[in-house]
């Protein structure tokens, strides 16, 4: 009988516990986009053109531990990272 070993690369398939608008969320990628944060915050699959979103984060990775994300941004995810997302209607 042949025994097969599977070796996962360290850091692969890691689940990150992040906080989005005060709620614990599981995220399984090493990087998160602006759109993914909005989707986690408001459970939407597409962004309405009449709605603006603001994403602020803290406890981030590397030298930039906190900041603001804009549409198109992608940042590295860190365990325990906190995201605050606000939604505003365009007038």
Segments making up each domain of the chain, as ranges: 16-89
Query: Rounded CA gap, 1 and 16, in Å?
Result: 37
For the entire predicted model, the pTM comes to 0.82
Query: Rounded CA gap, 77 and 80, in Å?
Result: 9
Q: pLDDT for 13-56, tens place per residue?
A: 689 999 999 999 999 999 999 999 999 999 887 788 889 999 99
């Amino acid at each position: 009988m042949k025994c097969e070993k599977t070796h996962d690369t360290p850091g692969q398939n890691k689940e990150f516990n992040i906080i989005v608008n005060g709620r614990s969320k599981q995220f399984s990628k090493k990087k998160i986009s602006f759109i993914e944060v909005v989707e986690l915050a408001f459970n939407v699959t597409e962004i309405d053109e009449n709605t603006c979103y603001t994403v602020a984060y803290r406890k981030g990775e590397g030298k930039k531990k906190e900041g603001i994300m804009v549409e198109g941004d992608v940042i590295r995810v860190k365990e325990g990272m906190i995201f605050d997302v606000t939604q505003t209607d365009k007038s």
